[in-house]
Amino acid sequence: MANTDITSKEMDGFGPHGTVVGLLRVLGPAHVWALGVGIVLVGEYMGWNFAVGKGGAYAALIACWFAGILYSCVAMIDSEVTSTVAAAGGQYTQAKHIVGPLMAFNVGLYLTFAYTMLEAANAITAGYLVSVVASMTGYAGELDQRPFIILVIMFLAWLNYRGVLATLTFNLVITAIAFVAILVLFLSTSGVLGGGIMQHAALMEGHELPYGWIGVLAAMHFGLWYYLGIEGTTQAAEEVRSPARALPFGTLAGIMTLLIAATLTWYTCSGVLPWEYLGDGVDGSVAPLFDTARLSGSTGLVWLLGFGTLFATLASANGCINDASRAWFAMGRDKYLPGWFGAVHPRYRTPYRSIVFLVPIALIFALGAPLDQVITFSILSGLLEYTFMPLNVIMFRKKWPLNTIKRGYEHPFHPLPAIVLLCLCGITFFAVFLGYGTQLIAMIGFYIVVSLWFHFWRYRFVSRGAQFTMPWPKPEGY
């Protein structure tokens, strides 16, 4: 068995390809949890409710659970592969070692765009929240949200620039508060603590499945939003003290947290808000947990969920900047993109050029596109990535069977999770096709064009053998 030494204390940030300094190994399992849940938890505070609009409240619940299965498969597969391929770039680096350079380039772009669009969506929501607070506190005019959107992105980019430990410790604290806020809202409105205000049967009467079963399929599109981003834990691989332990632990604890949060969120909101209002995330309920708190009649809950929503958006945007910059940085380091992006800050040990470069891109999306379109682009990039993952793990097991290299975690029932994941991705592609077929084709057209550009032009600047940085034996079949 080859010694992959993924728990090395000496190889600080690996620092491959001749870089002078690498990223700093300072993170623990709690930070990995905070990175994964922090990115995703905003999905319970906004965005998931578009699934209600696509098929009704019950359809959104079915989508929530099927998307939960999809992401459980993602977390299991990811935990095995990334606990072995412990390097920045996450799935990009996995693809580079297992499938090949062009797939890796595409996966790197999926990651960058999924997280940058999600960051933009978070900034839009933060700006909306400030405008709601302004009107609740007596401001009569129409508040310009743009300065707040810019401020959120700039502040979090600065935090990321200054160091990963402070960034993810900040995420840990605000994510924990946002999660507790959901629990408190559920306990306060469901009747567990005091009088309950839930009326599921009355609110759904006559509207059980307003679009029939095709609405259930359509709801899968935004069902992904309950969990989208949990796979981002892998981006911390080069900065955790013990990848073999911290990555599987943080990722699997994260998906369990999200399954609980997603179900409680659906139960709480659908029992208080009418489905048509809940399902319209643009003209109706932009922040459904906050709206539920408003209808509870409790000022304390309104403030708690207001802060919960704000903290969730900040945590998510923060994690997205972290992850998008790591993916961009890793591609720069390998010369898949100009090598200038592959630099690490000599003092803060962060991929500072990638962080700064992605700021204006996020701002263009946040200030120039509507929320549902931004979310759809993020979901589409995520969906393309999830479709790659079952192919990736099947090839991983085939090229390096168990016991040929040391794995930090071995996921059970292989290849069942891969097959289930592939089938659920197929269903979700159909769901996207039902509402956003043009974007789907536009996005795949974009990836085909950039793939041809990479294969026939960009790849000439990439050293061949040097891309393979894992100390593994030669893959079987080659």
Partner 1 sequence: MARYIAPTQSKASQIFDVIFLVVLTLGALFVPLKMGLSGAAKTVAAPEANPTWESLGQTPAQAAQYEALGYTPESAHDLILARFDYSFTTGALLAMIVVIIAYYVLMLKFSETEYREVIAEKFDGK
Residues 438-477 close enough to bind partner 1 by CB under 8 A: 438-451, 453, 455, 458-465, 467-468, 474-475
Tell me, by CB under 8 A, how many residues bind partner 1: 84
CA angle 453–428–89, rounded 5-degree value = 45
Direct distance between the N- and C-terminal alpha carbons of the chain, in angstroms, rounded to an integer: 18
CA distance 344 to 329: 9
CB nearer partner 1, residue 120 or residue 315: 120
8-state DSSP, 190: S
∠ CA 291-282-209, rounded to 5°: 80
**Shortest Å distance, C-beta 218 to partner 1:** 6
- Does 272 bind partner 1 (CB under 8 A)? Our answer is yes
The backbone torsions φ and ψ at residue 122, rounded to the nearest 5 degrees and listed phi first, read: -65, -45
Candidates 37, 29, 51, 39; CA nearest to 255 is 37
CB of 302 to partner 1, least distance (A): 13
Of the pair 226, 365, the CB lying nearest partner 1 is at: 365
CB of 259 to partner 1, least distance (A): 27
Closest C-alpha among 156, 28, 22, 41 to residue 89: 22
- Here's the x/- map for partner 1, 358-377, by CB under 8 A: it reads as ---x--xx--xxx-xx--xx
Which residues fall within 8 angstroms of residue 110, CB to CB, at 6 or more apart?
91, 381, 382, 384, 385, 388
Window 96 to 115, contacts with partner 1 (CB under 8 A): 99-104, 106, 113
- Span interacting with partner 1, options 28-36, 125-133, 156-164, 268-276, rule CB under 8 A: 268-276
Nearer to partner 1, 28 or 108 (CB): 108
* CA nearest to 332, candidates 321, 323, 343: 343
C-alpha span between 113 and 118 (Å, rounded): 8
Among 340, 398, 401, 471, binds partner 1 (CB under 8 A): 340
Least Cβ distance, residue 338 to partner 1 (angstroms): 4
Q: Which stretch binds partner 1 (CB under 8 A): 32-40, 210-218, 224-232, 405-413?
A: 210-218
Rounded CA Rg of the chain: 22
Encoding tokens for residue 190? 């469901």
Q: How far apart are CA 38 and CA 275, in angstroms?
A: 27
How far apart are CB 368 and partner 1 at their closest, in Å? Answer: 7
Closer residue to partner 1 (CB): 145 or 285: 285
For residue 281, the number of C-alpha atoms closer than 13 Å in the C-beta half-sphere is 27
207 versus 347: smaller Cβ distance to partner 1: 207
CA–CA gap between residue 417 and residue 409 (Å, rounded)? 15
Residues between 283 and 322 with contacts to partner 1, criterion CB under 8 A: 283-284, 291, 295
467 vs 17: CA distance, rounded Å: 8
Stretch that binds partner 1, among 61-69, 137-145, 226-234, 437-445 (CB under 8 A): 437-445
Q: How far is the CB of 376 from partner 1 (least distance, A)?
A: 8
The only residue of 15, 16, 415, 435 in contact with partner 1, by rule CB under 8 A:
435
Contact region with partner 1 (CB under 8 A), list: 69-77, 246-254, 299-307, 434-442: 434-442
How many C-beta atoms lie closer than 10 Å to residue 181's C-beta?
25
Q: Which of residues 150-209 bind partner 1 (CB under 8 A)?
A: 199, 202-203, 205-207
436 binds partner 1 (CB under 8 A): yes
Q: Considering only residues 391, 419, 423, 427, which one is a binding residue for partner 1 as defined by CB under 8 A?
A: 391
Decide whether 21 or 422 has the Cβ nearer to partner 1: 422
Report how far residue 181's alpha carbon sits from residue 430's, in angstroms, rounded to the nearest whole number.
Answer: 35
Smallest distance, partner 1 to C-beta of residue 83, A: 22
Q: Which residues contact 260 (CB under 8 A, 6 or more apart)?
A: none
Q: Which of the residues 5 through 64 are near partner 1 (CB under 8 A)?
A: 53-54
92 near partner 1, rule: CB under 8 A:
no
Question: Between residues 41 and 216, which has the closer beta carbon with respect to partner 1?
Answer: 216
How many Å separate Cα 38 from the centre of its chain?
A: 9
CA atoms of 289 and 40, how far apart (whole Å): 15
Tell me the closest approach of the beta carbon of residue 94 to partner 1, in angstroms.
13
Of 12, 150, 280, 367, the residue at the interface with partner 1 (CB under 8 A) is: 280
- Judged on CB neighbours under 10 Å (0-12, 13-18, 19+), 86 is buried
Q: Of 82 and 387, which CB lies nearer to partner 1 in the complex structure?
A: 387
Q: Which is nearer to partner 1, 166 or 449 (CB)?
A: 449
Nearer to partner 1 by Cβ, of 16 and 163: the residue is 16
Q: Give me 477's structure tokens.
A: 């079949």
In angstroms, give the least distance from the CB of 442 to partner 1. Answer: 5
The residues, ordered by sequence, that sit 6+ positions from 156 with a Cβ below 8 Å of its Cβ are 314, 317, 318, 321
